Structures are given as C-alpha cells and as structure tokens.
Amino acid sequence: MSGLWRSVVVPWIPRAILLGLFAFAIFGPLANLLLWAFAEVWYFPHKLPLEWGFDFWRQVFKPRGNAMLSLNNSIIIAIFTVIVSLAIAIPAGYALARRNLPWRSLILIAFLLPQAFPSVAVYINVARIFYGFGLAGTYVGVVLVHTVQGLVFAVWIATAAFSAVDRELEEAARNLGASGLRTFFTITLPLALPGIMASAIFVFLISLDEFTGTFFVGVPDVVTMPLLLFNASMEGNYQIASITSLLLLVPSVGFMLFIERFLKADVLAKVGN
Amino acid sequence: MTITSHAASVRFENVTKAYGAVVAVDRVSFTIEPGQLVTLLGPSGCGKTTTLRLIAGLEMATDGHIFIGENDVTKLPVTDRDVSMVFQSYALFPHMNVNENVGYGLKVSGMKKREAQERSQEALRLVGLSDLGERMPAALSGGQQQRVAVARALVLEPQVLLFDEPLSNLDAKLRRRVREEVREIQQNLGLTTVYVTHDQEEALAVSDRIVVMKNAAIAQEGTPRELYDHPANSFVADFIGDANIVEGTILGGGGETANVRIGCLEMELPCRSASAGPAKIAIRPEAIRLSAGDHGTGMRGTVRKATYLGNHLEYTIETEVGPLFVSDPHVEAPVAPGEIVGVQFEHRGVTLINDPSDDAERASESSPQ
C-alpha cells in the first residue's frame, strides 16, 4: 500500500501543484469577472458580494443604452473589417501562393510590419492623417484601422490555405477544359475555404478586441465594446466592465473552438512558407 | 449512349523544353499512330513526364512542333487540346463525389445535364464502378480512385489519352490486374494512348511501342520485342531486362553478321556495319549456359554467389571477361559457390552493341536494380 502511494501518488504532487497554479492563473480572473457581473453590492473587506442580482445586466441591455450601441458598433465594424480584409486577402493569398511573385517574402513581411511598431505611436499619426481626410471619428476610419491589423492574419492564413491546395487538382481541371477563372471558383477556392473561414474568424475577433486604434481614430463618435469597458472600469463601475468583458469573451471562445476544428494541420504547416 | 474513340496521331518534331539553362526535353522527335499505346520509359529525370505534359499542354514547348492529328497544337493552350490525362496522384476533386468528378469536363463543356449524366454513367460502367457514383473519393480504395480518374478522362472521348505512372500508387498484386484492364479498355476503344512509366516490365506488358528516354533524349524506340532482342546501346540493354555488358573484339565479317571474340569464345553475331576492333557485347542472364564437371576447352568460370529463387537460380560467375550475372532455370541441379563451371552463350540473347556514344557506367547507375 505504501509502495503504491510512493510510486503513483508522490510523483503527481508537483504536477498537481503546477496544474493548480496554472488553472488559478487562468480561471482566477475569470471567476472574479463572474462574481462582479452578478454583484449588486460588494465592498472591502468582504470576500464575497453582499447582494446578488441582475440590475446591471438590465442596465447594459437597456434598449438605446450605451452598451447596446457600442455592441452594435463593434459587430458592424467587425463584419465590415472581415469583408474588406477578405477582399484583399483572397486575391493576395492566391497570388502569393500560386504565382512566382518577385519579392514574395518581402510582401509577406510588409503585412507584418504594422505589428512591429509601437501601436500608440502609429495610431496617433494615423489619427492625424485621417483627420485631414475627414476619416477621424467615422466608421470607415475605424474599419480601415482594424483592417490593417487583421490583414496580417488574413493574408498569411489565406496564402497558407491556397498553398495547401494540390496544384495537380488545378491542372486536372484545366486539362478537362476549365478556364483559369472557373478552375479558381470550382476547385481552388472551395478547397481553400476552411482556411479562409478561419482567417475571417481571426479578423472578426481581432476587430472585436481592438482598442488602441479605435481609441485614437474613433473616439468620441465611434465607441466600441472595448472602449466602453475601458470607460466603465476607469469610472470604477466594475459591474458594467465585467458584463462587457463577458460579452467579449463569448464570441472569442466560441470561435476559437470553431477554428480549431476547421484549421487543419496541413494548412497550419504552410503558414509563412 | 456509348463512349467512342476519336483517336488521332501524335507527332513530335524536334521538340525542346528548357527551364532556363536546364533542358528537360532535348530535340525529341517521334510519331504515335492512331489507336496505339506507346510507353515513354526511362529512369526518373529523363524527361518522360515533361514529354507527356507537353502533349497535354501543361508545359509549352520551347522549340519544335507538336501535332495532334493534322493540327499543329504547339501553341494551343491546355484547355483547347482534345487530350485527357490520368494523373499519378489521380487528382480527383476531393470535394466532389464520383459522379461530379466524372461529369466535371462535360459540365465545363456546356453539355446538357441529362446527357452529361448518361455519359458519366456509361464511363463509370466501362471501368466497373456503376454503383459508386454517390461516393466521395476519400471513401474509395486506391484502385477504385484510379478507375474514377480513367472514367473522368474517357468520358470526354479524347483524341489522345495520357497516363502518368498510373500504377505507382497501387500495391504489387493490383498493378498487374489494373494494367491489363487499362490495356483492354485502350484496345476495345482503339484509343491513342501515351503511357509514362519507369517500370520496364510494365512497359513490355502494355505497349505497342516503347520510347526509351535517357537524359532528355530518346535512347531507342521500337516494339517491346525489338528493344529486348536488339538493344541499340548498353543503356537500353541494361534498362530493359538485365544484361551483362562485356568487352569483346570484332574480328571481321561482312554484310549481316560479324565474327566476334568474347574471351576465348568466338561467335557469329548479327550486325549492320561493324569494323574490326574492340566492341561491347550485351549478354542476357538467361542466355548463359553453365555446365558442371567436365568443361573441355571452352570458357571457365568460378561460382561466386548462388541464390535460389524458387523457379530459377541466380549466379554470379567470375570469368575472364569479368563477373557475369546468370539466370539458370535448372533448379534441380544447383552449383555450389567455389565450384568451377563451363560457360557458354546462346545466340539469342547476345547482342553486339556498336553505338559510338555509348557509356555503360551511366546505364548501370540508373538501372532500376
């Protein structure tokens, strides 16, 4: 009995402690979030909320309230960001994967570049330039800023998705008499679609979570969920902030599970190649 | 509704394909008669697949002319050539079922849905897959996928049918059956067919004619029998079947034969134009006769290796002309390693090679053995 104890249980103790710490690091803040979302009254030194309820939820989901408006803004902006990104990423990804473009790796890196610079510095200047064009505080301006960030993922993943389509299938379609365009729409695109879907979801989530660009370009006319969250927590309104966070969390987790099913290993292996 | 054939000839005139400085096909000329099955045979990298892709229009010739029937198709794009190809990987569209795969070419050509369906059905019946139309390619075995690829090519009734190493993804047992089926369909429909392979046995089994390629050029062209019995150079001798390439001396002779000395033996060998001097001789392993015990005055050899293979024995015999590889059907009387045997050559299976550009080293390097 003691032998079993030593050989099976003891080696597990450090692992259990490590896993426990890991779980606490991830789920601790989330638990705090959940508590705050349903807390009506909660102040120091009490360990748990004194009163529970849905008052703040009602406040958030009040029609014409700030929260609903910014939720709408977020979703509209995210959808248009996805459309603009894909409109660029599908032809770009196909060209990068299939044509022998000169400077191919340079082009791929160019899409990565916006991520390389400190974003505050970039967006202060973007805001200045957009102001000159009358784009500051407009949906178009915010969509453009989000698109620049989303394009890295969209283009890189689309390139990988097109690369993963067997060229011989395209040759077979051409051999059977299909034109280049027809081959693209009946063979290449359908086979690359799971990867394209995954990149669309990535772009959607990036847009949903984007803060810095929206803050400099959109405020005060265009307010999205992350900005509402920021304002609420700055005002010490933790309930509103927690509920907003939960609303942002749901699509992220849902889509991540979805992507995990769609983005197959053969596509992932081609990212950046 | 039946699938018929619009077989046309294929003619290459000095066709060259170069990728920058690399020449994949070098001034190749040949003619394929309508209704024939011609194999392009050679080791990997010899240009046989590029030649096939040139016929399909998947590659464009750098120089020279390609004719299908009477038409010069050299500049014709892939979509406008009446040529169907069965790819090595089969290249079935994974997101379409068998019917959609087979009907793809018909749909693209604008055929009415009903007619296209009937024709696809007929093509599938021809390859014995009538019941599997609703299946997805991933749910088929390798052999079935291959048949779908053949049906997809046949359904367009092409002038020329192309096969790129069609058996390489099948297991050994299936290969023999599939190649017989391919040959049967080809002969029944009278299709002009070009078939690429690196397997000489496959080539001998299915072909009307074989074009042996080496280093981007044609090494020899002929019927299977011509290539086996009268190889023009040591490469062909060694690539089609096995051959011992030995040094000999032409003593003289005129007209149709030459008197040749191999070691201490002398033989009359058929020959077109031979001048006296050193020469290379190809000897088939099965053309060497061994005699144990008393060996008189003939050539002698020492057995170095003896391998029992069921229906025959393989020996390596050390002789005065070098080591000889021997295939001996007399399994009931094996000779043990170390014994001395008499060595004789049969006339059929010994070929005088007088090709000035011959080099045996390269041939043995690229031989499949």
Question: Is A175's CB within 8 Å of B84's CB?
Answer: yes
| Interface test mutation site (partner B, options A166, A169, A176, max chain B beta carbons within 10 A) | A176
- For residue B58, the chain A residue with the least C-alpha distance is A171
Per-position DSSP letters for B270-309, written without gaps between them: E-SS--SEEEEEEE-GGGEEEE-S--TTSEEEEEEEEEE-
pLDDT at B238: 87
Question: Which of the pair, B255 or A40, is modelled with greater confidence?
Answer: A40
In chain B, where the domains are located: 10-229, 242-283+349-369, 285-346
> Is 3.30.2180.10 the CATH classification of the domain at B285-346?
no
Scan for tokens 């059956």, then name that residue: B177
Token pair listed for A119: 């974003």
Question: Is A169's CB within 8 Å of B93's CB?
Answer: yes
Question: Is A166's CB within 8 Å of B105's CB?
Answer: no
pLDDT at B365: 44
Strands (E), chain B: 10-19, 22-32, 37-41, 63-68, 71-72, 83-86, 160-164, 192-197, 209-214, 217-222, 244-252, 257-262, 265-270, 277-283, 288-291, 299-308, 313-319, 322-328, 340-345, 350-353
Judge if the upstream peptide bond of residue B323 is cis by omega within 30 degrees of 0. no
- Nearest CA to B248 among B264, B231, B237, B235? B264
Question: Is A172's CB within 8 Å of B91's CB?
Answer: yes
Rounded to an integer, what distance in angstroms lies between the CA atom of residue B187 and that of residue B17? 31
pLDDT at B274: 66
pLDDT digits (tens, 9 = 90+) for B147-165: 999 999 999 999 999 999 9
Considering chain B, what is the average pLDDT of its residues?
A: 87
Residues of B in contact with A168 (CB under 8 A): 87-89, 91
The size of the A-B interface in CB pairs under 8 A is 50
pLDDT digits (tens, 9 = 90+) for A106-154: 888 888 887 788 888 888 888 899 888 888 888 999 999 999 889 888 9
| Interface test mutation site (partner B, options A168, A171, A175, max chain B beta carbons within 10 A) | A175
Nearest-neighbour CA in chain A from B161: distance (Å) = 11
Residue B369 has pLDDT above 50, yes or no: no
pLDDT at B57: 94
Rounded to an integer, what distance in angstroms lies between the CA atom of residue B276 and that of residue A177? 58
Scan for tokens 């290539």, then name that residue: B227
pLDDT digits (tens, 9 = 90+) for A201-245: 889 989 988 888 888 888 778 888 888 888 888 887 888 888 888
Is B56's Cβ below 8 Å from some Cβ in A?
A: yes
Q: Where do the H-state alpha helices sit in B12-87?
A: 48-56
Residues of B in contact with A166 (CB under 8 A): 89, 91
Beta bridge partners of B260: B250, B267
Question: Which of the pair, B146 or A103, is modelled with greater confidence?
Answer: B146
Question: Which of the pair, B90 or A249, is modelled with greater confidence?
Answer: B90
Residue B254 has pLDDT above 70, yes or no: no
Nearest-neighbour CA in chain B from A265: distance (Å) = 17
Question: Is A177's CB within 8 Å of B85's CB?
Answer: no
pLDDT digits (tens, 9 = 90+) for B80-120: 999 999 999 999 999 999 999 999 999 999 999 999 999 99
Rounded to an integer, what distance in angstroms lies between the CA atom of residue A208 and that of residue A202? 10
Angle at A64 between CA A61 and CA A70, to 5 degrees: 75
Q: Going by C-beta distance under 8 Å and a sequence separation of 6 or more, which residues neighbour residue B355?
A: B232, B233, B234
- When mean pLDDT is compared across A10-14, B31-35, B91-95, B211-215, the lowest value belongs to A10-14
Rounded to an integer, what distance in angstroms lies between the CA atom of residue A111 and that of residue A133? 23
Cα-based distances in Å from A121 to A78, A216, B71? 23, 10, 65
pLDDT at A152: 85
Provide the angle, in degrees to the nearest 10, between the axes of the packed helices A66-98 and A225-234.
130
Question: Is B104's CB within 8 Å of A178's CB?
Answer: yes
Residues of B in contact with A176 (CB under 8 A): 84, 104-105, 108, 152, 156
pLDDT at A46: 75
What CATH code is assigned to B10-229? 3.40.50.300
Question: Is B94's CB within 8 Å of A187's CB?
Answer: no
Q: Which of B58, B89, B95 sits opposite A175 (nearest CB)?
A: B58
Question: Is B91's CB within 8 Å of A166's CB?
Answer: yes
Provide the angle, in degrees to the nearest 10, between the axes of the packed helices A238-262 and A12-37.
130
**Percent of chain A, pLDDT > 90?**
26
The stretch B132-151 carries a mean pLDDT of 91
Question: Which of the pair, B311 or A68, is modelled with greater confidence?
Answer: B311
Residue A271 has pLDDT above 70, yes or no: no
Residue A268 has pLDDT above 80, yes or no: no
CATH architecture, range B242-283+349-369: Beta Barrel (2.40)
CB half-sphere exposure, A175, CA atoms < 13 A: 35
Q: Which of B88, B89, B108 sits opposite A177 (nearest CB)?
A: B108
Q: What pTM was computed for the model?
A: 0.78
CATH fold match for the domains B242-283+349-369 and B285-346: yes
In this prediction, residue B363 has a pLDDT band, given cuts at 50, 70 and 90, of: very low
Residue B304 has pLDDT above 80, yes or no: yes
In this prediction, residue A59 has a pLDDT band, given cuts at 50, 70 and 90, of: confident
Question: Is B156's CB within 8 Å of A174's CB?
Answer: no
CA quadruple A110, A115, A118, A123: dihedral sign: positive
Q: Using DSSP, state whether A182 is helix, strand or coil.
A: helix
Scan for tokens 């170390």, then name that residue: B338
Nearest-neighbour CA in chain A from B102: distance (Å) = 10
Nearest-neighbour CA in chain B from A152: distance (Å) = 28
**Domains by residue range for chain A, with CATH:** 2-53 (no CATH), 57-268 (1.10.3720.10)
Q: Which of A172, A174, A176 sits opposite B156 (nearest CB)?
A: A176
Residues of A in contact with B78 (CB under 8 A): 171, 174-175
Q: Using DSSP, state whether B102 is helix, strand or coil.
A: helix
The stretch A88-103 carries a mean pLDDT of 87
Q: How would you list the strands of the sheet with B340-345, edge to edge?
A: B288-291, B340-345, B299-308, B313-319, B322-328
Residues of B in contact with A266 (CB under 8 A): none
Token pair listed for B220: 């020899």
In this prediction, residue A173 has a pLDDT band, given cuts at 50, 70 and 90, of: very high
- When mean pLDDT is compared across A145-154, A177-186, A252-261, B220-229, the lowest value belongs to A252-261
Question: Is A174's CB within 8 Å of B104's CB?
Answer: no
**Percent of chain B, pLDDT > 70?**
93
pLDDT at A103: 81
Q: Which of B58, B83, B104 sits opposite A171 (nearest CB)?
A: B58
Provide the angle, in degrees to the nearest 10, between the axes of the packed helices A189-209 and A66-98.
140
- Nearest CA to A189 among A85, A90, A87? A90
Residues of A in contact with B104 (CB under 8 A): 173, 176, 178, 186
Residues of A in contact with B87 (CB under 8 A): 168, 171-172
Rounded to an integer, what distance in angstroms lies between the CA atom of residue B53 and that of residue B60? 8
**Percent of chain A, pLDDT > 70?**
94
Is B277's Cβ below 8 Å from some Cβ in A?
A: no
